[in-house]
Amino acid sequence: MKAHRVEYKKLRASSPMIVQLARVVLLTAGALGGLAVARLADWPAQTGFSQELVILIFIILGSAMGYLLGGIVGRELTEQYRRLEQQVQQFETTDLILAAAGLVVGLVAAFLVSNPLRLLSPTWVAFLGIVLVYGLFAYGGTRLFLTKRRDVHRRFGGMLESGSAHPPATLKLLDTSAVIDGRFARIAESGFLEGEFKVPRFVLAELQTLADSADDIKRARGRRGLDLLTTLVAGTVSVEVFETDYPEVPTVDAKLVRLAASTGGAIVTVDHNLTQVARVEGVTVLNVNELAAAVRPAFLPGDKFELLVVREGKEPGQGVGYLEDGTMVVVAEAKEHVGETLTVEVTSVLQTSAGRMIFGRLVSS
């Protein structure tokens, strides 16, 4: 599957730095701790080694323990940093500004209110009271300011977001079905679909799962999607795979809807169920199948066109053909003309839940 892995931009540039920094700090602390332990007892008398060798051994042991512990602590700090970064990215700019303003106002109010508490005794009661006041006022100020976030976002959100490098309205989030389908790329190349195309990491993971499936059909679909992404990452339609996830959300569709709601982007899909759910949630959805249906030629009774009759129909004497967009055309008295291209006149058009059907008759030459 290595041939099908997609190269993508990782948002983990800070990860090695955090791990290495933690290792350097704890390695240094371990070395100093080993030096301190080497001086706590008369190790040369107990071990028979020289004092210099004992110090060296304890420094090496302390450094090794610090290095190993630094890797564990660094990776945990990295994971927490990523989660914090994802949570911050989900907030609107107006929410962050309001929360910061509310926090500042709360801390200022807490400073004024907590001054009399310094006179309390014993000291630990005064300290506990001050900490409690600061916590309550900081939380209360933040929550109070956020209650007006909708009004502020409605009035000033456009100005705050207009200067961003990638306005939310231009962000297009591709789901698994859209990537496998692939028609969005041709639509984008024609200029009818604009903006920045992104694939969340959890969608790529679902494609990789399909590509590794034991089922031949699923495996072929997954590999098709990965191949298409591999082509598009370096192609004219730039598609970026980015690192984001919602571990607490069980399904890929639910994660995609939540991501679109938090970023203001639009979901590009061919999945009817996802389209309906996203619209209920108030998320913008661009369904490629709906676009294809909208641009189909509108035939009216009396219109004429050329049609290749490919097979017999269910009813006696009928022949069946298909338009370029897949619309089925049932032609009366065309059973004897299977394999021929004929001129057909539309008699009626029927719209069903499965799609559109056109009924016609042969035009005598």
Q: Based on the number of CB atoms within 10 Å of its own CB, is 215 exposed (0-12), middle (13-18) or buried (19 or more)?
A: exposed
Residue pair 1/44 in contact (Cβ under 8 Å)? The answer is no
Residue 53 has a pLDDT of 87
Q: Which amino acid is at 56?
A: L
Task: Compute CA distances 229 → 185, 202, 273, whole Å.
Answer: 10, 14, 23
In the numeric block, the tokens 């071990």 are attached to 47
Over the chain (365 residues), the average pLDDT of each successive run of 10 is: 39 61 88 85 78 86 89 83 69 75 89 83 84 88 78 57 49 88 84 83 87 88 86 72 79 87 85 89 87 78 89 89 84 88 89 77 80
Cα dihedral 62, 63, 65, 71, rounded to 10, equals 160
Residue 333 has a pLDDT of 86
Residue 90 has a pLDDT of 60
Q: Work out the number of other CB atoms within 10 angstroms of the CB of residue 66.
A: 24
What is the spatial distance between Cα 200 and Cα 197, in angstroms, rounded to a whole number?
A: 10
Residue 2 has a pLDDT of 39
What is the spatial distance between Cα 247 and Cα 147, in angstroms, rounded to a whole number?
A: 27
What is the spatial distance between Cα 25 and Cα 22, in angstroms, rounded to a whole number?
A: 5
What is the spatial distance between Cα 26 and Cα 68, in angstroms, rounded to a whole number?
A: 9
Residue 163 has a pLDDT of 44
Got the DSSP string for 289-357? HHHHHHTS----TT-EEEEEEEEE-SSTT-EEEE-TT--EEEEET-GGGTT-EEEEEEEEEEEETTEEE
Residue 153 has a pLDDT of 59
- Set out the domains of the chain in order of their start, with CATH numbers: 2-90 (no CATH), 93-161 (no CATH), 168-294 (3.40.50.1010), 304-362 (2.40.50.140)
Distance of CA 231 to the CA centre of its chain: 20
Sorted by sequence, the CB contacts under 8 Å of residue 136 that are 6+ apart come out as 110
